[in-house]
Amino acid sequence: MIRDLALRNRTCRRFQQNESVTMRTLLKLVDLARLSPSGGNMQPLKYILSCDREKNAMIFPHLAWAAYLKDWNGPAEGERPSAYIIVLCDTAIRQSADCDAGIACQSILFGATELELGGCIVGSVQRDKLRKALQIPANCEIALVIALGKRKEQARIEPVKADGDIKYWRDADGVHHVPKRALEGIVLA
C-alpha cells in the first residue's frame, strides 16, 4: 500500500557499502521514474547509473550530507552508498525540470523501499566538479543525485515538538529521528 511505502521511505545516509546493488535493480528503479508523470509530457530527464566502486568513488566527494548534523561529514568508508542515480535535465528538451525531478526521485525511492533498499536524494552537489568527473554532456544539467544501498541505519518519524523545531537528529544509538508536522497543522481549510 502507498501509505506503508511513504512511512517506510525515510532518508538513509549510512549504508552497508559492501552489499551491492545491481545494474538490473538500478534500471528497474529508473523505469519507475520513466513511467512517472512529466510536465507537458516532455520527459526531459536522463540518468547516469553507477553501481561500480570506482565510479562511485568519483561521485561521492562531490556530495554534501545532512546539513543539520553539524558534527558529521557524511558516511565513512564502509557506510557509503553502493549505488547512485544521477538525475539530469536535458536542456535541449526543456530548460528546467524541478517538478519532474522530484516526482521521478520519489518514484525511485518508493521502488527502492519496496526492494528493502535505503536512499537519499542529494541536492547539495558540486555540479561543475561532478560534471567534469563524469564527462556529462553540456546539454544535461544535474538536477539531483540519489544515493542508494542496503540500510545501515534506522530512522523514526516523530511529531514536531512544541518549539516547532523540524531539524532531524541522531540519538546515542545512531537512530535517525525525523520530526514531521501534524496533519492538522498543515491543512489550512
- For the beta sheet containing 169-170, the strands, ordered from the edge strand earlier in sequence to the opposite edge, are 155-159, 176-180, 169-170
Question: pLDDT-based confidence at 66, cuts 50/70/90?
Answer: confident
The pLDDT of residue 1 is above 90: no
DSSP label of 75: P
Identify whether residues 47 and 123 lie together within a single domain. Answer: yes
The pLDDT of residue 62 is above 90: yes
Question: pLDDT-based confidence at 189, cuts 50/70/90?
Answer: confident
Identify whether residues 47 and 112 lie together within a single domain. Answer: yes
| Residues with Cβ within 8 Å of residue 65, at least 6 apart in sequence | 13, 72, 73, 74, 75, 120, 122, 124
Identify whether residues 7 and 85 lie together within a single domain. Answer: yes
21-56 pLDDT, tens per residue?
Answer: 999 999 999 999 999 999 999 999 999 999 999 999
pLDDT (0 to 100) of residue 38? 95
Over range 8-22, report the average pLDDT.
Answer: 95
Identify whether residues 120 and 161 lie together within a single domain. Answer: no
pTM: predicted TM-score of the whole model, two decimal places = 0.93
Identify whether residues 112 and 185 lie together within a single domain. Answer: no
Identify whether residues 145 and 159 lie together within a single domain. Answer: no
Share of the chain above pLDDT 90, in %: 86
- Mean of the per-residue pLDDT values of the chain: 95
114-123 pLDDT, tens per residue?
Answer: 999 999 999 9
Instruction: Check if the beta carbon of residue 90 is closer than 8 Å to that of residue 139.
Output: yes
Range of the domain at 176: 154-189
Over range 118-140, report the average pLDDT.
Answer: 97
Identify whether residues 168 and 147 lie together within a single domain. Answer: no
